[in-house]
Amino acid sequence: MATPSQTSAAAGGFQYGALLAGWLIPGGGHFLLRKWGRGGLLLASIGGMFFLGLAMQGKIYSSAHDILEILGLAGDLGNGLLYVLARVAGWGADSVQVTSADYGRAFIVVAGLLNVIAAVDAHNLAIGRKKS
């Protein structure tokens, strides 16, 4: 049986609500589709990785001057509102010279990439391309 969002997507409604919600808030697209367990796991795991990365003094990219910074910025932007919150609060802006900072930066970038994958999964569920 089709969910309300699948029905509206098939009828020509806005098909990208779950994708946008999933990108803005980790697990948000799944919450929108009433997939509470999956959304909660995504919020906890992606949010946890992001904040663990910050706790390890990981860098949040704000500009890109070479190819590695461009890729890091793309990964960071995948975190949606978490990225905006970190930039506004000034988290991850300091240049720290500790070993854990490099791992923290990787945690933050990977959290963003996983968030994009989760948002695409929510979109596929919403349009009926994927079943539960």
Report yes or no on whether pTM surpasses 0.85: yes
Whether residue 45 has pLDDT greater than 50 = yes
Cβ atoms of residues 30 and 118 within 8 Å: yes
Question: Using alpha carbons only, how large is the chain's radius of gyration in Å?
Answer: 16
Domain ranges in the chain?
25-127
Distance CA 85, CA 114 (A): 18
What confidence score (pLDDT) does residue 132 get? 80
**Would residue 75 be called left, alpha or beta, if left means φ above 0 and alpha means ψ between -120 and 50 degrees?**
alpha
Question: Which tens digits make up the pLDDT trace of 49-104?
Answer: 999 999 999 999 998 899 999 999 999 999 999 999 999 999 998 877 888 899 99
What confidence score (pLDDT) does residue 9 get? 47
At residue 7 the predicted structure's pLDDT band, cuts being 50, 70 and 90, is: very low
